[in-house]
């Protein structure tokens, strides 16, 4: 842990606080000054290092008050969506590591039980905190232990059904849980839904500014205000408290002192401002949600380097063009408008755009319902977030053979967001679903063609692409329709000239293709861009098996159960005898770092691929001619 050290000018209080114990030794009158120092430290550090920004500026005073009022880590403090927990890291021994956070070998991007005793529960995805708190409170009750259990949920976390399932259960059991709602009217984008409107009207009644309220709030007396604000949570068995100004340390401590030892379910409603204390972030909290660097005085963001568009932009441009041609196309996102490239679509086709909030299960079944009525829904979703809607994909879409297109962003290693956000498993969990076509395009142009192809299919299709940019730019003008891909057909990009023995063939699924071509030249190997994970191009596999001594499958997905496994299974079914080397992500959770660093760590960069193939060639005799014929 960080020990108290002499800090640079302006951080006298923060320099003396290495743990919450140090914090609790301060006089309460020092907390507002400490909050100023913490906010300035976050601004100066993240201006250089980048990271999640505006959400953390909004939780400074709340974090101070919670650690001051509670006996952490004995009391369990559970943060939802770890991107609001940088102030928590500052106060729990990790201040010196903040600048290296999200980098290879540095602090985790979110919360991690492996990193600190103060991280009671790992948090990367949203809306898990209340369920985890229920489990911890029930465990304390069963074990006869006296401890407080507090869940801090916000940044859109209450738009997810999981959170309400937990609230309902806690209320039914009467558990001693305090749920603190950090209400900033935001997730990454603006919050959506009827609950947002309910909260806005409740805040207006209580005297807080609520510009997003569509209907005026009636004038009520103070007792009526609190009852009206908390009626939803009272109906779930919680005692409602608030709302409280989340940037007033004294008001927060007074509220926590009232509720922290109360028996039964308690709900404390705290109002914060995303981007608090940095004017550009307050004005544009979405733009400053995640930053790569900025001027700490003016707020001017570091300009991105010129280059080809990201896959999310390729998708967004394609979707707008497709929707202009086909009025049946509608788009659905679970609160990821910016990240999934839907900003332009939402502006151009507002009536055909559905942001369901952080509600992936609902997003998928909503798409199924739209498809039942003849529309062509496109679900734009991150790979790891689709994990949360997997049952709906199977039961509500695939089983009914409905023409839903899943545009799956962040497939494979995503880089700095780490293990909670790597799309490491999608090819494995998708290819086993009947009726589902799975496409893994190798570049931006192939991605646009794959999306066009998906719209020609009578059933569901998943098109999976990574974070970041492709070396190949998709040149699509206006309403141009690209030639669709032939279903289940690969493209052979290079054929061995027979200069090297034994002969090697690469079967590449997805965007690691560019890393293979250089290696293929060294090995004089054949290369196929497989395009389709399901259905496979059986003719290409059969041909390569007949003419090569080693087949190498490559994918940015778990090597267990992925596209390479599909090739293995088909070869066994056909009783074809040819050695196969499967390359992909290892059977472990890959940490954070840059995408290139992590690919190298996993042996999926060009030198790593070459080493793996050469090791296999040395490890066993492959010099006999490959028969590619039946084992019988």
Active site residue 33: no
Tell me the C-alpha distance between 519 and 525, whole Å.
Answer: 8
Whether the link from the prior residue into 502 is cis, omega within 30° of 0, is yes
Residues 6+ apart with CB under 8 A from 292: 50, 301, 302, 304
Catalytic residue, from 89, 337, 388, 449: name it.
388
Output DSSP code: residue 484: P
Element housing 367 (H / E): helix 360-372
Instruction: Count Cβ atoms below 10 Å from residue 248 Cβ, excluding itself.
Output: 16
Whether residue 53 contacts residue 288, with contact meaning beta carbons closer than 8 Å, is answered with yes
Catalytic residue, from 37, 61, 226, 360: name it.
360
Distances (CA, A) of 318 to 186, 407, 479, 590: 28, 11, 9, 31
Q: DSSP 3-state assignment of 576? A: strand
- Of 174, 92, 161, 79, the C-alpha closest to 134 is 174
- Of 243, 311, 327, 203, the C-alpha closest to 556 is 311
Active site residue 595: no
Active site residue 388: yes
In 126-177, the DSSP E strands lie at: 149-154
Whether residue 291 contacts residue 53, with contact meaning beta carbons closer than 8 Å, is answered with yes
Q: DSSP 3-state assignment of 115? A: coil
Residues 6+ apart with CB under 8 A from 621: none
Q: Among all chains, which residue has been given the structure tokens 């559905």? A: 354
Instruction: Count Cβ atoms below 10 Å from residue 51 Cβ, excluding itself.
Output: 21
For the chain, how big is the Rg over CA atoms in Å?
A: 27
Catalytic residues: 274, 360, 388
């Amino acid at each position: 842990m960080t020990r108290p050290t002499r800090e640079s000018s302006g951080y006298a209080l923060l320099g003396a606080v290495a743990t919450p114990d140090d914090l609790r030794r301060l006089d309460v009158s020092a907390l507002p000054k400490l909050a100023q120092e913490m906010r300035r430290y976050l601004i100066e550090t993240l201006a250089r290092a980048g990271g999640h920004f505006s959400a953390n500026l909004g939780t400074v005073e709340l974090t101070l008050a919670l650690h001051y009022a509670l006996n952490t880590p004995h009391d369990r403090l559970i943060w939802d969506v770890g991107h609001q927990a940088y102030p928590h890291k500052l106060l729990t021994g990790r201040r010196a590591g903040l600048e290296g956070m999200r980098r290879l070998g540095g602090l985790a991007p979110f919360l991690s039980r492996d990193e600190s005793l103060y991280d009671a529960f790992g948090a990367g995805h949203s809306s898990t905190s209340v369920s985890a708190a229920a489990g911890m409170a029930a465990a304390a009750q069963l074990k006869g232990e006296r401890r407080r259990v507090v869940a801090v949920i916000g940044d859109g976390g209450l738009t997810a059904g999981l959170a309400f399932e937990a609230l309902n259960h806690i209320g039914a059991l009467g558990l001693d849980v305090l749920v603190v709602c950090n209400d900033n009217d935001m997730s990454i984008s603006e919050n959506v839904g009827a609950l947002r409107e309910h909260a806005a009207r409740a805040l207006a009644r209580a005297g807080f500014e609520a510009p997003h309220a569509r209907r005026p709030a009636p004038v009520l007396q103070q007792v009526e205000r609190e009852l009206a604000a908390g009626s939803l949570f009272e109906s779930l068995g919680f005692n409602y408290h608030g709302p409280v100004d989340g940037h007033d340390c004294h008001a927060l401590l007074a509220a926590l002192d009232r509720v922290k030892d109360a028996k039964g379910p308690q709900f404390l409603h705290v109002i914060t401002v995303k981007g608090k204390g940095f004017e550009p972030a307050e004005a544009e909290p979405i733009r400053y949600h995640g930053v790569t660097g900025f001027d700490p005085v003016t707020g001017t963001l570091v300009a991105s380097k010129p280059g080809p568009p990201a896959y999310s932009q390729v998708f967004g441009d394609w979707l707008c063009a497709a929707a202009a041609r086909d009025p049946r196309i509608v788009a659905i996102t679970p609160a990821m408008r910016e990240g999934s490239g839907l900003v332009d679509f939402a502006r151009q086709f507002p009536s055909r755009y559905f942001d369901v909030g952080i509600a992936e299960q609902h997003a998928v079944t909503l798409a199924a319902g739209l498809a039942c009525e003849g529309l062509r829904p496109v679900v734009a979703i991150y790979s790891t977030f689709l994990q949360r809607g997997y049952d709906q994909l199977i039961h509500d879409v695939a089983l009914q053979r409905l023409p839903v297109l899943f545009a799956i962003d962040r497939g494979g290693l995503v880089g700095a967001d780490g293990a909670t956000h790597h799309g490491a498993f999608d090819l494995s969990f998708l290819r086993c679903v009947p009726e589902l076509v799975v496409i893994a395009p190798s570049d931006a142009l192939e991605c646009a063609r794959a999306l066009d192809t998906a719209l020609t299919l009578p059933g569901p299709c998943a098109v999976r692409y990574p974070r970041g940019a492709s070396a190949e730019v998709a040149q699509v003008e206006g309403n141009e329709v690209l030639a669709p891909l032939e279903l289940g057909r690969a493209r052979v990009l290079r054929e061995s000239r027979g200069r090297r023995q034994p002969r090697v063939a690469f079967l590449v699924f997805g965007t690691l293709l560019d890393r293979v071509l250089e290696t293929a030249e060294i090995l004089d190997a054949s290369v196929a861009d497989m395009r389709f994970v399901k259905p496979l191009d059986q003719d290409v596999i059969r041909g390569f098996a007949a003419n090569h001594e080693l087949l190498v499958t490559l994918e940015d997905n778990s090597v267990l159960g992925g596209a390479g496994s599909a090739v293995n299974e088909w070869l066994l079914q056909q009783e074809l005898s040819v050695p196969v080397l499967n390359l992909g992500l290892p059977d472990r959770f890959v940490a954070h770092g840059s995408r290139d660093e992590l690919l190298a760590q996993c042996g999926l960069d060009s030198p790593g691929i070459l080493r793996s193939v050469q090791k296999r060639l040395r490890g066993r005799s492959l010099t006999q001619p490959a028969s590619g014929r039946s084992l019988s």
